[in-house]
Amino acid sequence: MTFARDPLIRDFETIPRIPSWVTSGRVETLEGVAFLSGAALAHLHVVLGQADVPHSLLRERLALCAAEACVAYSGRPEGARELRDAVHLLRPGDLPGPAGETYLVWRRAVERPVSIKALSRELPSLDATRIAGWLDVGQGGPVTRASTVLAAVQTEAPRADVSALVLADVALAQALGWDYIVPLLAAGLTRADLRKRGDDLRLACHRAVTASAIEAVRLAADLVRRTAHLKTVAPKLRAKGAGDAVEMFLTRDAVAPAALPLPDRAARRLCDRLVDLGAIRELTSRDTFRLYGV
Alpha helices in 74-197 (DSSP H): 80-88, 97-111, 116-122, 128-136, 142-156, 161-176, 185-188
**Are 144 and 265 found together in one domain?**
no
**Are 69 and 103 found together in one domain?**
yes
- Which domain does 90 fall in, by range? 27-224
Q: Which of 224, 245, 275 is the C-terminal boundary of a domain? A: 224
Residues 6+ apart with CB under 8 A from 243: 234, 237
**Are 219 and 260 found together in one domain?**
no
> How far is residue 245 from each of residues 108, 222, 264, 271, measured CA to CA in Å?
21, 21, 13, 9
Spatial CA neighbour of 70 closest among 105, 43, 40: 105
pLDDT in tens, 39-82: 999 999 999 999 999 999 999 999 999 999 999 999 999 999 99
**Are 193 and 139 found together in one domain?**
yes
Rg (CA), the chain: 20
- Residue 261: CATH number of its domain: 1.10.10
Residue 96 lies in a domain: yes
**Are 196 and 281 found together in one domain?**
no
**Are 251 and 176 found together in one domain?**
no
- Supply the pTM of this predicted model: 0.91
**Are 160 and 270 found together in one domain?**
no
**Are 83 and 179 found together in one domain?**
yes
pLDDT in tens, 29-48: 899 999 999 999 999 999 99
Q: Which of 176, 196, 224 is the C-terminal boundary of a domain? A: 224
Average pLDDT, the chain: 91
239 pLDDT band, cuts 50/70/90, is: confident
**Are 73 and 190 found together in one domain?**
yes
Predicted confidence at residue 13, as pLDDT, reads 53
User: Under a CB-based contact definition with an 8 Å cutoff, are residues 213 and 219 in contact?
Assistant: no
Name the DSSP letter for residue 192: T
**Are 64 and 101 found together in one domain?**
yes
* Count: domains in the chain: 2
Residue 14 lies in a domain: no
**Are 220 and 251 found together in one domain?**
no
